[in-house]
Structure 1
């Protein structure tokens, strides 16, 4: 099953090459919560489990209008770590120096602990933590999400179905599954892929599959959404992206969809540069 647990490394390790000159140095980091100063705090606990931690990056000169981008790593719901998203964090700090960044870990699924609702509950706990500490951190209650693979699925699902206060301004899914009722999943014969999907239950009811599918939870109040998919992805069929795109179009939700026909579960080079270029514009317009 190891081959299925991509952390989207082909994207995040190469994308960092576009940002190397303006990263904050150790000397510039301060432990003061003075809003005039840049602040970093790592491994903040938001629960009792060792995986319930996140890293916080607060920009200098922040105020009560400062918005926060939340990064959600992939790994097939069973593996991965917030460190996998550090290169994207670095890019955000380079191109969006005025936003706060939260890079999260969440409890990983296994045969005794399914991903849902556990991982959605973890995101809710993080959001509640940030809201309760917004005065201390000098940030607003406005958030955005960037998730890769399983993290893309979690970002979409939480933003569409669990953001009861409508605090999510935008959500980005890079190769995230969106629809577990897709025939491409229900009728698949790949043993390893089936093992991965069985994390959500052996022969689950259609109603449950809809409950855990962002496609079926999207409404007209869903936040602006940007999607990226690979045409040759062995884990996430193209229909996972195109069907959600069509649903959002029908609902009148602002969205943008990009398919790289020859890419798999990750890409590099000009396609990667295209991803970041489009995502930067989307963040500027919506966060």
Structure 2
């Protein structure tokens, strides 16, 4: 392909994401506005990466603590605004409830394992944090009071994000996430994420394992895991909590009796309790004097 002319070249450049106008806000619930599909990163040869940003209507009295929610889907699929099937019928939805409780909520995309192997996913989420930090004053965000929260594969990534050297998180909520990928056999979603079985990529598998990232300076963790999880054994969550506690960090493991993956099994009240317990943790670690968000 011929090179563009000097006059044309500036018009072919990608827009500056630090100044790109934000999309018009929707109103998914009373008192809540939603900026849907905000581009936060351009990767060569990849789709633009976007996030949804849930905010209160009007300018808050002060900067809001931020929950970054990372979706699941075995790193291969999933929707950024989906907390799981048990929450899809909630009205108002879970993210609107978090906003009503006093948070801003960001739900970012990330490259899936069919698009790029690890650490692309962690790199993307780190870039989402940079974008939020760069536009924090404009949006009224307190990025120094950050909680990462994820479910399943998203919980794995949320844990890595909280344990990374990027912006220091105030806390992390892990719902039934894998935490040790060092024994991932061929043909599993974990091996697809790594680009091959862990035995062939031991250093990468260790780098992708939250249990291997633990330090005494880790933020508080709340780990909830179903006792009957048929996809990710509860021992994965227990191992992360044990490693954190052994390092001197604050961590709590909460078994959810009779729950399979995605909180399948328990009645609605037990699922509501998982959400309420996680919200209470986020309120506590960020110092928000909120309510239950309902």
TM-score over 0.5 for the alignment? yes
Q: Which runs of 5+ in 1 are unaligned?
A: 1-23, 30-37
Following superposition, which runs of at least 4 residues in structure 1 exceed 4 angstroms of deviation? 24-29, 86-89
Identify the structure with bigger relative contact order (alpha carbons < 8 Å, sequence gap 6+).
Answer: 1
Q: Is the 8 A contact 1:71 1:102 kept in 2?
A: yes
Partner residue of 2:289? none
Deviation digits for residues 211-253 of structure 1 (CA, Å, limit 9, x no counterpart): 1000010111111111111222222112101111111111221
Q: CA 1:234–1:27 in structure 2 vs 1: closer, same or farther (change >3 Å)?
A: closer
Aligned to 2:64, the other structure's residue is in SS state coil
**1:216 matches 2:220:** no
**1:99 matches 2:93:** no
Partner residue of 1:279? 278
Q: CA 1:259–1:46 in structure 2 vs 1: closer, same or farther (change >3 Å)?
A: same
Query: How many Å separate the matches in 2 of 1:27 and 1:81?
Result: 20
Q: CA RMSD in A?
A: 2.5
Q: Which runs of 5+ in 2 are unaligned?
A: 1-25, 287-294
**1:260 matches 2:262:** no
Structure whose CA Rg is larger: 2
Deviation digits for residues 157-212 of structure 1 (CA, Å, limit 9, x no counterpart): 1110242x42x111111111001125xx55xxxx8xx3312211233333221110
1:63 CA drift (Å): 4.8
Q: Is the 8 A contact 2:59 2:140 kept in 1?
A: no
Query: How many Å separate the matches in 2 of 1:131 and 1:140?
Result: 8
- Once the two structures are superposed, the pairs formed by residues 1-287 of structure 1 within 5 Å of their partners are 39-48=33-42, 49-50=46-47, 52-59=49-56, 60-85=58-83, 87=88, 90-94=93-97, 96-97=99-100, 98-110=102-114, 113-114=116-117, 116-141=118-143, 142-163=145-166, 165-166=167-168, 168-181=169-182, 185=184, 194-199=187-192, 200=194, 201-202=196-197, 203-267=199-263, 268-269=266-267, 270-287=269-286
Q: CA 1:133–1:196 in structure 2 vs 1: closer, same or farther (change >3 Å)?
A: same
Query: How many Å separate the matches in 2 of 1:198 and 1:27?
Result: 40
Question: How many residues are aligned here?
Answer: 244
Higher strand share: 2
Q: Is the 8 A contact 2:72 2:78 kept in 1?
A: yes
Q: TM-score, normalised by structure 1?
A: 0.77
Q: TM-score, normalised by structure 2?
A: 0.75
Q: CA 1:79–1:249 in structure 2 vs 1: closer, same or farther (change >3 Å)?
A: same
